[in-house]
A = this chain, B = another copy of it.
Amino acid sequence: MSDLPKFVYVNECGPREGFQFEKRNIPTPDKIAFVDQLSDTGIKAIQFASFVSPKWVPQMADSDAWVDGIKKVPGIEYTGLWLNLQGLERALGHRDKLTITPGFSLNASETFSKKNTNRSVAEKLDEMPGYVAKFRELGFEKLDIGVAVAFGCNYEGAISTERVMSLLRDQETRAKDLGMKIGEVTLYDTMGWGNPLQVKRLVGAVRDRYPDNSVCLHLHDTRGAAIANFIAGLEVGVDRFDAAVAGLGGCPFAAHKGAAGNICTEDVVFMCQEMGIETGIDLDAMIEAGIKAEELVGHPLPGKIKVGGNLATYRAKASAAAKAAA
């Protein structure tokens, strides 16, 4: 583990991934205040709004007001999600607040692609020209690509490394034909199937093929492996991770199988702190945000460090006690 990254870049996506699952309606002013609280933690990227149909995701119906309401802190990338060109157009209406990221991805599972996006994988790939035209118009030269359900699928079972690599090549080829280079590559463990051996194998294959591109991991904690997969990612040089404050993204106590949250932001920050890796994030402030998230959703969330306590505090107390005794 001698060559762990010196700095880990965390993309907070709890307000987007998490709130869309909740039954309780969270008032827009509370959502705005929550993003502002996250902005004060030192985090450098926050994904919060979702420009999708309010028919499908009613919890995100107030996304325009939410974006309008936040205080934009310089140096932070605020992003939203879209799943079609209409959504992208809505996001573009908020360029005073939002950073537009030129991203595209495919699902490794045909079944999930149809269920989640109502399109086959091939149909989804055929939508790339529309996005690329827009991104080129905006001045982008590189397209970020990714594969969702890259570690396994509740419907289709195991997903092979070859399948993931082939979907990345398909995106790369199409993007090049459209005059764009490849930027960041994101691998999504959408259904929490990954294990550390698989993370190292899959990331290794991606690094071999795309040695100059940064790799980002999006790890769900459905089966308790997320933090181990995070460490495995670090060990093969990954330094960009999506994460969700308090482990937002699902309710593990509602037998809501498969809906468990993303890896917990403050647990990731804690782990980095303990291993001497910088994140630029104030752990205590992020723990406070995690506690706030629980208050907003009205039930316990899975993050551990907000209960277990920051070791820096214990070390400081012990050191003060030792000095007092000396």
- Which residues in A have some Cβ–Cβ distance to B below 8 Å? 1, 152-158, 192-193, 195-198, 200, 221-225, 227-228, 230-232, 252-253, 255, 257-258, 260, 264, 267, 270-271, 274-276, 300, 303-305, 307-309, 311, 314-315, 317-319, 321-322
Contact = CB atoms under 8 A, between A and B. Distances in A.
A192 B228 contact: no
B318 A224 contact: no
A158 to B, nearest CB: 6
Contacts of A196: 1, 231, 275
B223 A318 contact: no
A205 to B, nearest CB: 15
A309 B260 contact: no
A192 B222 contact: no
Nearest to A303: B224
A260 B314 contact: no
A318 B155 contact: yes
Task: List the 7 shortest-distance A-B pairs measured between CB atoms, nearest first.
Answer: A224-B304, A157-B318, A223-B308, A222-B308, A195-B274, A157-B315, A224-B267
Contacts of A192: 308
A24 B267 CA distance: 30
A222 B309 CA distance: 8
Given A198-B274, A222-B309, 17 more contacts: A1-B200, A152-B311, A152-B314, A156-B322, A157-B317, A157-B319, A157-B322, A193-B311, A197-B274, A197-B276, A222-B308, A223-B270, A223-B308, A224-B267, A224-B303, A225-B274, A252-B304
Nearest to A307: B252
A251 B322 CA distance: 30
B154 A314 contact: yes
Contact of A304 (B221, B274, B309, B318): B221
A224 B267 CA distance: 7
Contacts of A275: 195-197
Nearest to A311: B193
Contacts of A222: 304, 307-309
Nearest to A156: B318
A197 B2 CA distance: 9
B270 A308 contact: no
Nearest to A155: B318
Nearest to A195: B274
Contacts of A304: 221-224, 252, 260
